[in-house]
Structure 1
Amino acid sequence: MQKRLTQKQVSQIVAEVERLSQRRQSEIEVEELQQILQELNLPDDLLDEAVMQVYRKQALDKQKKRNTWIVGGVVAVVMSVGAATFFVQQQHYSALKRISVYQSLVGLRLDDSANVEEIKRQNSPEVFYNVTLENAPVGKQLELGCNWLDPSRKIAHQNNWKTKAIAKEVWNTHCRYQFNENVPSGNWIVQMTLGDEVITSNQFVVK
């Protein structure tokens, strides 16, 4: 029993037959090609090599187009990654710029609420620099440091550390330095740094 075709199927079949017919008309048999070469006074013994060269060029053209698409895709991916990285970095820098110092105190104990202005070196005290940050980036870590500057403004001691993940916007941190009897007396300065930038400093006297 012959199947009945829908109108859509009939249209598709007609279109395919027309395409195949046009393709057949555009293709030339080898005998016709040899005849054309003879009419042009060209040697037909080079026909096979010429056909191979044409196929080879077509294959190279396809490969070039494929490579162009691949390179274009790679470039697009690299640009997207670069843009995303730049965006993340800008967000990070913006978050760092928002950080401010709420309080900074020199003390003889961790989280000391009093600011010590004079230190007696003969007691070999351990001195703390207690700092409270505001607008700290929650969930991020900060690269912090301290410079302890002696009266000649030379760095006598440095601290460098990375905080654990910030849990709240108001964040307490500190650094420390063990003084001894050999340190020079006079006006000292302690600085806290965020990256390469000094964000706060305090002066105190060592006697």
Structure 2
Amino acid sequence: MSNRKGNVSVEWTEWHKEPNTAGLEQAGAIQDFAGAEAAYKQLINQGSILSMVNLARWYELRPKDDGGADFEQAEIWYQRAIEAGSAVATLPVGYFYLRRKDYEKARSVFLIGKERGYAPSILRLGDLYAKGLGVQQNYDTAQDLFKRAAKMGNIWAKQTVAVLNMRRSKNVVEKILGSIMIGLSNLEFKYQNWREPRSEKLKK
């Protein structure tokens, strides 16, 4: 995991705060809803925050054979993960609200991610400002957020900054530099995907 706050990845930090990482991995391999629900609730009772996120995702995406999606329970567990202090949770929770087209709640969640120093959520917050979803459209604010996420190592943010610079600049040299930056970020993406495919540098 790679988006680093200081010298430590945000995701690495949260993973190593988990009380039972082996149990969390085992729960993630469970295929049926009832089994996963029981495993995650047991881990939650032990203090696992990431299990709240995973349980919420199960409720959101629960198969019809198991009763179908339960958005109310999904939101409850997503919000509990946020309230417990997780930065990593802000990305899936924000996406939960985006899928519900509740852009204001999505913005508020991504803003929490920004405050907690999580680059993928900062990138998504910038996207909301760029598109004017849940907030007044503001390209300057969007670009500032993209740049912040890029400085934290997020590859998608680096590409976004490069594309925006190319589009907004009339300077040929700057356009060439932007093109080079995109090429370098593509190479970085391939390397990172090979080295750490689950890295937060690759998340958007």
TM-score normalized by the length of structure 2:
0.20
So what's the TM-score if we normalise by structure 1? 0.19
**Structure with more of its chain in helix, by fraction:** 2
Of Structure 1 and Structure 2, the greater strand share is in 1
